[in-house]
Chains A and B, each alone.
Chain A
Amino acid sequence: MKAFIYFSFIFLLTLSACSTLKDSVRIGKTGHNVIGSVPHVIDSVPDTQIFELQMNFRDDEFGGLLLLKKYDNEHYRFILTSHFGLTVFDMEINKRDYITHYCIQPLNNQRALYLLRNDFSMLLKPDFFPNIRYKIDSSSRLIALERAGSITKTVMYFTGYKDSWPEVLSIEHPHLKLYIKLTTLPDASASPI
């Protein structure tokens, strides 16, 4: 049994070390397949943006609306609500730290929140972590990224580009079987009070 666990662990590590992104590049100064900087995938101009969120975790599904509010540079707030209005979580992210203002009990788990924080940080700043590989298209747009890791390996895809920004942002944690899809909702934010 111990041997099985050991080999499974080694297999997982090996698997996670292999990039699934063909023709990917990394950030660097010199060498092959190296780029100097990574294009962003979320427009930093609007004060508030709304995305439709679809989350699949193993056999469970959840749908809701994700609000992204910008304060200052690298200071944001993410709020997920159900379609019926209930707040699921309310998280603030700045350069180094994150604050959970609210989270419903079933999700209020340190590891789950840390994973979300990492995902959102990479969405806002694709070079948030150093060990990320990127796929850039011929128009110099970021279409995918991959962060190696054992259980928390992350792959993101950015598709449906319109006016320099992708309309669909997909986050995948294949080893966790967690998949999150964000779709921009240009008409959703509604009226000023």
Chain B
Amino acid sequence: MKKFYLYFLLTFQALFPEYSNGLIAEDKMKPMSQEEISGFEQALKNKGETTFSLESQFVQEKNMEMLNRKMISKGIFRYMKEDKIAFLYETPLKYHMIINGSRLKIVNNGKTQVIDLKNNPMMKEMKGLIEASFLGRLSGMDSSYKITYFQNEDKIFVFVVPSGKGVSEMIRKISVTFDKVTLDILQLQLDEGAKSSTIYYFTQPKINSIKSDESFHIL
């Protein structure tokens, strides 16, 4: 049980972003009107309906107050409808995390570990958070998350503040940045309670390019 909980938190919490105040100021964001939010959500929904798979490169950047350097990891992100998500880390270590339905597979150093997410409500919640962020279903999230929308000239910023006890103890704020035109997710940022943040930059998105779900197979 503890394993599930730990993996849950460790795996998923880091997948959500937050914008530092500096970035907010730099981007000159303005709050979106209710009409603009509705339009954005509808556009996301439309895009989601025609997106069957997504693959992109990602760079993960861990920032810590006490370090004067960033920790960088790189890899490939894959999504396939309905509920298949994969983070395939290539550097500095090969490390794969694959979610297929209610199961999570971790491949590390050639060793495979499969975790059933069904019996863990916390895990389930986190999986929902990932899917909502990546698949543009933020507005469908329950009331334990406070969601606000901002925009600048070319981007839309969605901030998610968890208020549920388990999640909020570890995640202070989550942010998702969308390209205003393509609605691609450009960045995810997680602000932790530990005075550190993790930013995921997504580049070279390829829509509907994955032809087989082989890479999501879990034994």
Residues in chain A within 8 A of chain B (CB atoms): 48, 50, 52, 54, 59-65, 67, 69, 77, 79, 81-88, 90, 101-102, 104-107, 185, 187-193
Could you tell me if B92 and A85 are in contact, using CB atoms closer than 8 angstroms? no
Q: How many angstroms between the C-alpha atoms of A140 and B194 in the bound complex?
A: 41
Cβ of A179 to closest chain B Cβ, rounded Å? 13
Q: How many angstroms between the C-alpha atoms of A183 and B7 in the bound complex?
A: 21
Counting residue pairs across A and B whose Cβ atoms lie within 8 Å, the total is 116
Q: How many angstroms between the C-alpha atoms of A63 and B97 in the bound complex?
A: 12
Interface mask (B1-40 → A, CB under 8 Å = 1, otherwise 0): 0110111011111110000000000000000000000000
At the interface, yes or no: B62 with Cβ under 8 Å from chain A?
yes
Could you tell me if B97 and A102 are in contact, using CB atoms closer than 8 angstroms? no
Interface mask (B169-209 → A, CB under 8 Å = 1, otherwise 0): 11000000000000000000010111110100000000000
Cβ of B59 to closest chain A Cβ, rounded Å? 10
Chain A contacts for B93, CB-based, 8 A: 52, 83, 185, 188
Which of B2, B62, B66, B92 interacts with A81 by CB under 8 Å?
B62
Could you tell me if B64 and A79 are in contact, using CB atoms closer than 8 angstroms? yes
Among residues of B, the one whose C-beta sits closest to the C-beta of A87 is B194
Chain A contacts for B9, CB-based, 8 A: 86, 104, 106
Could you tell me if A67 and B60 are in contact, using CB atoms closer than 8 angstroms? no
Supposing A54-B109, A63-B95 touch, asked if A84 and B66 sit within 8 A by C-beta, the answer is no
At the interface, yes or no: B134 with Cβ under 8 Å from chain A?
no
Which parts of B151-181 form the interface with A (CB within 8 Å)?
A: 169-170
Among residues of B, the one whose C-beta sits closest to the C-beta of A64 is B10
Supposing A48-B69, A50-B71, A106-B9 touch, asked if A82 and B170 sit within 8 A by C-beta, the answer is no
At the interface, yes or no: B149 with Cβ under 8 Å from chain A?
no
Q: How many angstroms between the C-alpha atoms of A64 and B71 in the bound complex?
A: 12
Among residues of B, the one whose C-beta sits closest to the C-beta of A90 is B194
At the interface, yes or no: B43 with Cβ under 8 Å from chain A?
no
Extra inter-chain contacts (6) besides given A87-B192, A102-B195, A187-B92, CB under 8 Å: A59-B3, A61-B3, A69-B66, A81-B62, A84-B12, A86-B192
Cβ of B64 to closest chain A Cβ, rounded Å? 7
Which parts of B112-141 form the interface with A (CB within 8 Å)?
A: 113
At the interface, yes or no: B219 with Cβ under 8 Å from chain A?
no
Q: How many angstroms between the C-alpha atoms of A192 and B67 in the bound complex?
A: 10
Could you tell me if B69 and A63 are in contact, using CB atoms closer than 8 angstroms? no
Supposing A79-B64, A86-B192, A185-B92 touch, asked if A193 and B69 sit within 8 A by C-beta, the answer is yes
Q: How many angstroms between the C-alpha atoms of A50 and B64 in the bound complex?
A: 14
Which of B91, B111, B194 interacts with A101 by CB under 8 Å?
B194
At the interface, yes or no: B56 with Cβ under 8 Å from chain A?
no
At the interface, yes or no: B73 with Cβ under 8 Å from chain A?
yes
Q: How many angstroms between the C-alpha atoms of A104 and B2 in the bound complex?
A: 12
Chain B contacts for A64, CB-based, 8 A: 10
Supposing A63-B95, A104-B170 touch, asked if A85 and B198 sit within 8 A by C-beta, the answer is yes
